[in-house]
Amino acid sequence: MKIINIAIDGPAGAGKSTISKEISKEMHYLYIDTGAMFRAVAYYVLSHGGDTESSKSVNSMLDDIDIDLRQKDGAITVYLNGEDVSSLIRTPEVSRGASDVGTIPEVREKLLQMQRKIASEQSVVMDGRDIGSHVLPNAQVKIFLTADVAIRARRRLAELVQKGENVTFDEVLKDMKFRDKNDSERAIAPLCKADDAIEIDTTHLTLPQSIEAVKKAVKDKIKKIK
């Protein structure tokens, strides 16, 4: 059976993770949440008193970090050194830290090799900031999701409130803008749309509509390459 790689990129809060999970379930492909991997690194550094903005601090801990993503019933569980940290890595502090460690070459290289190995062995849906442009440049299907930053902030706020987080819209919007700037301006593998990616703007779409739009684009593309 031919291995198919689907890359779904876009800024924070564009709906990548939710949509990617739905695509992976329908296609029966493994879902790889690359953002969760960077979050796990950031969480480890922060919980051990490190500075996510300091490459020296982060790199001194890299060898002690082992990340394992396990899929069960369509959901991804993130294990950090054997501990389930799936809920612990979703706070605004860890989000900012993930954006910080994402600018560090050694972190990106460590996770890049893990991601490419998985994608070479089986069909995957992988989401992130630079999957189509850098991590999986030969992916057969590339989608770039985008949406207005205020809309993305509202969506992320709703997620956090549902999880019991005590945050405000202004805090989430500020964090979103920071991450957009940080991700787009980093020197290594910045957030960008691959030349051959299909762009889908979800600003005026509901979540079900967004999922259907991406499903259609993915299926149409796969039909052409088979």
Q: In the chain, what are the domains?
A: 5-215 (3.40.50.300)
Per-residue pLDDT band at 182 (split at 50, 70, 90): confident
CA 87 to chain centre: 15
The residue ranking higher by pLDDT, 19 or 226, is: 19
Q: Report pTM.
A: 0.80
Other Cβ atoms within 10 Å of 188 Cβ, number: 13
Tell me the C-alpha distance between 48 and 62, whole Å.
12
The chain-wide mean pLDDT, for the chain, equals: 91
pLDDT in tens, 152-175: 999 999 988 888 888 999 999 999
Provide the pLDDT for residue 104: 93
In the sheet that 67-72 helps form, which strands lie side by side, from edge to edge? Answer: 67-72, 75-80, 83-84
- Rounded mean pLDDT of 115-127? 91
Residues near 94 by Cβ (< 8 Å), separated by ≥ 6? 39, 42, 43, 46, 88
The residue ranking higher by pLDDT, 46 or 27, is: 46
